[in-house]
Structure formats: C-alpha cells, structure tokens
Amino acid sequence: MDTKILIAVEKLCRYYGHHLAVDSISFELAQGEVLGFLGPNGAGKSTTMQMITGNLAPSAGRVTINGTDLLDQARLAKAEIGYLPEQPPVYPDLTVGEYLAYCARLHRVSKKHRGGAISRAVRRCGLQGVEARLIGNLSKGYQQRVGIAQAILHNPAVVVLDEPTVGLDPNQIRDIRALIGELGESHGIILSTHILPEVQATCTRVQIIHRGRLVFAESMQALQQRLSGKALLLETMTALDPAALHQVAGVAAVELVNSCRARVLFDGDNPAAALAACVASHGWGLVELALDRQSLEQVFVELTCNEDETTPAAAA
C-alpha cells in the first residue's frame, strides 16, 4: 500500500438526547486526499468533524487517526490533527503573532522549530504584515485565515476545515483553495462546505451527508465521469436540421431545444469533431458545442431532497 490511511472512521454515531444526529458513518481518508464533506444545514457535518477532532465524544463507533485510536490515546491522536471549527477559535485580545506562538506551544512544537513553523504558516495563509495587529481588529476574512494558520501550524497529518472560506472575498477564496490544494499533496484534508463549486475545484473525493447518513461517497474522477454523461449541447447561428445530425456516426438521438439549439445524445466516443464538421459543411455557423454536464448541484439536490419525501420528518 503506497498511500497511508490517515483517518479511519467506523460506524460513528452521535445522539443529542433522542435525536440521532450522526447515524453510523464510516469512511477513510488517505494521504494526499482532499475529502469534501457536503450536506445541507443540520445534516451532521459539523458534528462529525467535532467527533473526528475529539471535541465531541461519539455515542458509538471508532475514530482512528494515523493508526492511533482517538478515544484510547487522545493526546497522541490529537497531535496529528489540525482543526478549524466553524468559528475560528481566535482570541480577540491577542496579536496574530502572540496567538500563533501560543498555539505552537499548545501543540508541542519544540522551541527550536517554533519560529520556523509560525513564519511558514503566516506565509502560507498570507498573514504577512498583520502579525503585530490585534486579532479582534482584523476583518472576518483575516480572522478566518488566522484560524487556518492555527490549523496547519504544527504540520499535522490531517487537517480538518469546517467551512474554511466563509466570509472571504473571491481573491482570498482562490488563495485558500490553492493552499488547500497544496496542503492536500502531503496531508489528508477534510473540508466541509456547502459551496459546491468549491468542492469541484479542490476535492479529490466527495461525500454527501444527509440526515446523519452518508448518502453519497465517490472519488472526484468517478463523479466527473458520472456527471459528464453522454450528451452534447449544440448551438448554431441558423436553424439546424436534426435529420442531418442524426447521420453523424455515434449519434443516438437528437433533441431539438429550439430551431438553433439541440441536445445530441451519443454512444461510445464523443462525436464532437464529426458534429462540428457536419455543422460546417451545412454552413449553419457553430456557436457552441459542449458536453452537457450534470452539475454536482443536481446530484446534491437529488440526493438531499428526494430523501425528504421518502423519510418524512425523522427529526420530529
């Protein structure tokens, strides 16, 4: 096995009173993976993350971090985790530098490596220039970045980020996504979010949790394949003739959306080149020719809304 399993979660359950918030979730995270954790509000994302990081005790089940059981050897296991909760756990009265120094001490970063670790985290999260400022005076976006810096400070094997890009501006979001991608190469990352493009942009694996249960778990590659489907969207300048398109090799069906737009279903290889040639030869004027992708959003909505009808009001 060339990739190490960093987190193994087995049949994790969590009750709040009689309410089952997380129902027997199992998954694994290997080194070099970025796992996107999706779900509607209240689905159990944060609860699961709190259990993985030892902030909540599970009602049943096991969490193993890098081969160490989180319940039996909590301190050893926790040393391998960096956690950014939904609200960044920052002290408004401290400066960024003081805060990170404190976090480094808490995470047992040795005195020798402390300076290096802090300056690396500061650089990676783009915090240069604000180190001497009070965290309470920073904007929400900077506070969020301080929170991320705290999570990666001690170079943990696993980084758990609960909605890391909330409150950031688009540039910062891009930076953070790049950072997540960079971290994902050497660490294992679990990322919870409800921003779907974020998952598509950064994750190598996707899990959707709904009503405390995992309803979807696939690698991004498999997902892309599943999403890309077998259809092309075609748009032309002048009215097109579906019969002529049907002649193209590989085309199974042509659905006309309007006179200039059609959805072409195909079998086997993508016939885009042949279609383009066909359009050109008829002189229709090609405007658009693209794969019709089902978005992750559609999958998400399908999985999390259908369930509402089949299991009504489980929480009631």
Partner 1 sequence: MLFAIASREFRNLFLSPLAWSIMAVLQLILAYLFLSQVDRYMAFQARLGGLEGAPGVTDFVVAPLLQTVGFVFLLVAPAITMRTFSDERRNRTLSLLISAPVRMSDIVLGKFLGVLLFFLTMLAMVAAMPLSLYAGTELDTGKFLAGLLGLALLLSSFAAVGVFMSTLTEQPVVAAISSFGLLLLLWIIDWSGDSSREMSGALAYLSLQTHLESFMKGLFSSSDVAYYLLVSALFLILAIRRLDQQRLSG
Q: Which residues contribute to the site for partner 1 (CB under 8 A)?
A: 14, 16, 47, 50, 53-57, 74-76, 78-79, 81, 83, 85-87, 89-94, 102-103, 105-108, 150
From CA 131, how far away is CA 129, in angstroms rounded?
A: 6
Q: How far is the CB of 55 from partner 1 (least distance, A)?
A: 5
Q: How far is the CB of 187 from partner 1 (least distance, A)?
A: 16
Q: Tell me, what amino acid is at 240?
A: L
**Token pair belonging to 124:** 């990676």
Closer to partner 1 by Cβ: residue 37 or 83: 83
> With contact defined as beta carbons under 8 Å apart, do 39 and 95 qualify?
no
Residue 137, SS3 per DSSP: helix
Closer to partner 1 by Cβ: residue 150 or 172: 150
Closer to partner 1 by Cβ: residue 81 or 117: 81
Closer to partner 1 by Cβ: residue 57 or 287: 57
Q: How far is the CB of 16 from partner 1 (least distance, A)?
A: 6
Q: How far is the CB of 307 from partner 1 (least distance, A)?
A: 24
| Other CB atoms within 10 Å distance of the CB of residue 263 | 14
C-alpha distances in Å from residue 63, one per residue of 22, 99, 267: 14, 29, 44
DSSP 240-303: --HHHHHTSTTEEEEEEEETTEEEEEESSS--HHHHHHHHHHHT--EEEEEE-PPPHHHHHHHH
From CA 240, how far away is CA 194, in angstroms rounded?
A: 40
Closer to partner 1 by Cβ: residue 167 or 181: 167
From CA 38, how far away is CA 195, in angstroms rounded?
A: 8
From CA 116, how far away is CA 14, in angstroms rounded?
A: 39
Q: How far is the CB of 148 from partner 1 (least distance, A)?
A: 13
Q: How far is the CB of 105 from partner 1 (least distance, A)?
A: 4
Closer to partner 1 by Cβ: residue 96 or 103: 103
Q: How far is the CB of 120 from partner 1 (least distance, A)?
A: 19
Closer to partner 1 by Cβ: residue 14 or 177: 14
